[in-house]
Structure 1
Amino acid sequence: MKAFVFPGQGAQYCGMAKDLYDSFPEARELMDRADAILDFSITDIMFNAPEEELRQTRYTQPAIFLHSMAAATLLGRDGIAMAAGHSLGEYSALCFAGAMNFDDALAIVARRGELMQNAGTENPGTMAAVIGMKDEALEELLAEATPAGTIQAANFNSPGQVVVSGSIDAVRKAVELARSKGARMAKELTVSGAFHSPLMKPAEEELKKALDEVTISDAAVPVCMNVVARPVTSAADIRRNLVLQLTSPVLWTQSVEAMIASGVTSFTEVGPQKVLQGLIKRIDRNVATAGVDTAEHVREQLTV
């Protein structure tokens, strides 16, 4: 069984998807449509903006979504048994799976990026990567850091690689504790907010209002969702999980394990970069991985 997986924030790069735009009329049509839907030219930001502008959450999220959907549109659904996305990438997965139409998904993604950026300003926070600690030891460490402020595990990316999120003092305390307790690495990340933590609550409330305005259908392809780490097709479950996702941990390790347990043996990352391919290999070296980022990658997949 083959699955498509879709990357999240952090996978962006300057000039992303330009060769897809130039090489494939279907991709060009989709990207031009995105410019018409949004109140700014997302393609101009993707193709020409400096890194610091592209890195703004309100631009990063629609850019990655659009790149992923341009590639996915060219590849089609044939032979794909399951899908998943990491955080923002879950919207790409759901759009690919037919649970949301492109126009609605793009508008929601743009709104989500704006809300998360605003929440980061309203409730300042940060995130940190902790590598080389077991989950149980990390939970104890987070309990020790809690007196300094809000903190929780935000991304379970692969065994021994977890991102924590919360108030600045609490996250920095967690980094200090992790280093003292033998973590291989503990490093604060450059982010605009404490994503997937309770500090995103204002964004969660507004996102629910935005989601209530759009149609969500049952998925034609099961999507293994971040919040529950199991395949989901029900429209009601999808809507609920998307709201919860902003303040809940991304259970990526658990999701990949669930997909493998369901019979998936091959994962193709659709969108910019190859972050998820690396994580999946660390979760299970026995599965096959591939990536579709560039026009060359698309041509390779279409000739397989």
Structure 2
Amino acid sequence: MKLGFLYAGQGSQHPGMGADLYRTFDAFRAVLDSAEVDFDLKKVSFEDPDGILNQTRYTQPCMVAFAAGLTAVLRQEGIEPAVAAGLSLGEYSALHAAGVFDAATAVKLVAFRGRAMEEAAAGRESAMMAVLNLDRAPLQACCDEASDLGCVVIANYNCPGQLVIGGEKAAVEKATALAKEKGARRCLPLKVSGPFHTPLMAPAGDALRSYFQGVDFAQPQIDVIFNCLGDVKDDSVTIQDLLVRQVQSSVFMEDSIRKMAAMGVDGIVEIGPGKALAGFVKKTVPEMPVISVETVEDVEALKAWIKER
């Protein structure tokens, strides 16, 4: 069975994620035990006693360690992707699954990325807003009209009927009001700590460019669909360049899901926590089989799901 792996992004984290996997699977334990970060990653992931899991600098390494550990578990079960992608942060997990860097390196990279994103967002009056049931073109027109108050762009093209705008707070608020006038069904503020995937994150992109100079990137062993392209890359651009662009430009998740389907996968596996991406798949390519995997029980369900096909 030709599988596409789709890795969850920031926002789906929750205390307790991975605790049952850690108790059950040696492969999962090995990944989390080898994570080199400046905090107790397992305590934050499993218990979060100080309430810091939702802070970007902690969220990102915890999420990627979880994803890499679960990927290792599935690999031991003989379940591997033919193509991979991820939502924002999840792109690093997809690259790890493709063999571009090992799990320990992936965790270090996103620990740096999380700090750089927090620093880029510090002191800014920013906002992000999910806009439901408004097409791309009219929402882009809203952003264009509101840009007289500052930066506002479509940051995420998640799936049909769900777009996210982000930028400076006043501009986002104006674009939101215009979107409602144009027929948006709902506009929901997102609880995030910065204007992610907007030009305001350029300082984080600059920091990543410098950091990547000291990191070895191997050739991917499977196809990876990149956020800022909604497609696989060609030889005209490097992975490093795309990761620098990714942090400060739009995420084309709907396009990425359509591309994965067009590449002939028989099913898509969401590597959690959460089931948000499975929802995007169902709205984008409803005929595509999709399953979410987060727990020990989910691993067993995935094995049965594959056998049935």
The DSSP-based 3-state class of the residue aligned with 1:87 is: coil
Q: Name the SS for the 1:80 alignment partner.
A: coil
Equivalent residues of 1:13, 1:51 under 8 A apart: no
How far, CA to CA, are the matches of 2:130 and 2:50 in structure 1? 22
CA distance in 2, matches of 1:161, 1:279: 9
Residue 72 of structure 1 corresponds to which residue in structure 2? 71
**For 1:208 and 1:53, how far apart are their aligned partners in 2?**
27
Q: Deviation at 1:57?
A: 0.5
Residue pair 1:218, 1:234 contacting (<8 A) in 2 also? no
Contact 1:268 1:292 in 2 (8 A): yes
The answer (yes or no) to whether the contact 1:211–1:239 under 8 Å persists in 2 is: yes
Once the two structures are overlaid, the 10-residue window that deviates more, 258-267 or 74-83, is 74-83
Query: What amino acid maps onto 1:43 in structure 2?
Result: K
Matched, 1:245 2:242: no
Residue of structure 1 equivalent to 2:10: 9
- 1:205 and 1:79 map into 2 onto residues whose CA distance is 33
Instruction: Supply the distance in 2 between the matched residues of 1:50 and 1:124 (Cα, whole angstroms).
Output: 28
Gaps (5+ residues) in structure 1? none
Aligned counterparts of 2:236 and 2:219: Cα–Cα separation in 1: 4
Deviation digits for residues 197-222 of structure 1 (CA, Å, limit 9, x no counterpart): 01111111101111111011110011
Supply the distance in 2 between the matched residues of 1:115 and 1:247 (Cα, whole angstroms): 12
Query: Partner letter of residue 23 of structure 1?
Result: T
For 1:13 and 1:202, the matched residues in 2 are separated by 28
1:105-254 superposed matches below 5 A: 105-232=106-233, 237-254=238-255
Q: Going by fraction, where is helix more abundant, 1 or 2?
A: 1
**Structure 2 alignment gaps of length 5 or more:** none
| 1:232 Cα deviation from its structure 2 partner | 3.6
SS in 2 for 1:164: strand
Question: Aligned equivalents of 1:2 and 1:144: distance in 2?
Answer: 42
Summarize deviations over 1:164-195 as a string: whole Å, max 9, x none. 01001011111111122210111221111000
Please tell me whether the aligned partners of residues 125 and 199 of structure 1 are also in contact (alpha carbons under 8 angstroms): no
Could you tell me which residue of structure 2 aligns to residue 45 of structure 1? Answer: 44
What residue number does 1:86 align with?
A: 87
Q: Report the residue type matching 2:135 in the other structure.
A: K
In 2, Cα distance between the equivalents of 1:242 and 1:90?
A: 9
CA distance in 2, matches of 1:194, 1:203: 11
Q: Is the 8 A contact 1:230 1:258 kept in 2?
A: yes
Percent identical pairs in the alignment equals: 36
| Alignment partners' CA distance in 2, 1:299 and 1:265 | 19
Greater Cα offset, 294-303 or 193-202: 294-303
CA distance in 1, matches of 2:151, 2:287: 38
Q: CA 1:85 to 1:51, structure 2 compared with 1: closer, same or farther past 3 Å?
A: farther
Q: Does structure 2 conserve the Cα–Cα contact (< 8 Å) formed by 1:218 and 1:233? A: no
Shift of 1:50: 4.5
Q: Deviations over 1:94-132 (max 9, x none)?
A: 001101122211101001011111111143411100011
Give the RMSD, CA atoms, in angstroms. 1.6
How many residues are treated as equivalent by the alignment?
302
More moved, 189-198 vs 256-265: 256-265
Q: Deviations over 1:213-240 (max 9, x none)?
A: 1011110011000011112486952111
What is the Cα deviation at residue 52 of structure 1? 3.8
CA distance in 2, matches of 1:18, 1:235: 42
Q: Classify the secondary structure of the residue corresponding to 1:130.
A: strand
CA contact 2:65–2:103 (8 Å) conserved in 1 = no
CA spacing shift, 1:215–1:302, aligned 2, 3 Å:
same
Q: Is the 8 A contact 2:291 2:302 kept in 1?
A: no
Question: Do the aligned residues in 1 keep the contact of 2:5 with 2:84 (CA within 8 Å)?
Answer: yes
- Could you say what secondary structure the match of 2:82 adopts? strand
- Asked if 1:260 is matched to 2:264, the reply is no
**CA–CA distance in 2 between the matches of 1:234 and 1:21?**
39
Q: CA separation of 1:136/1:236 partners in 2, compared to 1, >3 Å: closer, same or farther?
A: closer
TM-score calculated relative to the size of structure 1: 0.95
